[in-house]
Amino acid sequence: MPKVTSLELISEARLKGHAVGAFNVYNLESVQAVAQGVKEANSGVIFQITKSAVDYAGLKNIYDIVMNNIDIYNIPAAIHLDHGPSLEMVDECLEIGFSSVMFDGSSLPFKENIEKSRASVEKAHAHKATCEAELGRLVGTEDEISVDEKNAIYTNPDEALEFVESTGIDLLAVAIGNAHGFYKGEPHIDFERLGEIRKKVDVHLVLHGASGIPDESIQKAIKSGIGKINIDTEFRYATMRGIEDYLSEDAGTSAARNALAAGRERMKQKVIEKINLFRPSN
């Protein structure tokens, strides 16, 4: 099955009242875990790749691994650049075949974010790819971007309208109380703000930093208009727990592949769990 765009997957999911899971991958095992979980759950998915994943695995290498698994498991999937730090990286990913990209200008002044996000949209659409951008600043660290609490900024609904109209983006990532990484306390999602943004803009909305948000809040967010949900921290944590549990039981093993397989299985189960959560009617 050929790769599709994020926009195609999300548009189809929203017709059913669902959201699409977007999982960050960085090596063979993480890609296999997503592909196997998606196949078992009978769903579409977005494979997300960050700059740090590219630095670790190599752009062509990780792209080819994802494409091979899309073909092997015959799943509808998009390949997405997550938090692209530059327009140059957007270009590189589109040229190699990514079907979806995000230029992250959330740390830039509003007008500069518009300017560079618009340029990213033009590049993406020239390749028939989906383009995501972010407005607002989430607390926490994602790849090379760190934001502390005093510098966090919620998405302003009126600015969201101007941003969408000025850039032509397909997907808008919002800051509504969500955060990157683990939450220090129970997260409080601003559903009133989400509702106002939903009324203002006619593009699909994205929830970053979904790891650790209570299930009921996730499903309420989906019903309030969220169409794409990013999972990274919980996914990585599941990997490490699987490997640690295996090593604690078989401390004398010399087969690293067995430990990696244990981590992969735990990741796969997390993917299935999240996909089912993102389909409220199920």
Residues recognised as catalytic? 82
Q: CA angle at residue 271 from 7 to 22, to 5 degrees?
A: 25
**Cβ–Cβ < 8 Å for 207, 21:** no
Q: How far apart (Å, rounded) are the C-alpha atoms in residues 176 and 206? A: 11
Q: Are strands 130-135 and 145-147 parallel, antiparallel or unpaired?
A: unpaired
The amino acid that residue 235 corresponds to is F
Q: How far apart (Å, rounded) are the C-alpha atoms in residues 282 and 212? A: 21
Q: CA angle at residue 48 from 139 to 9, to 5 degrees?
A: 110
Copy the structure tokens of residue 227: 């169409």
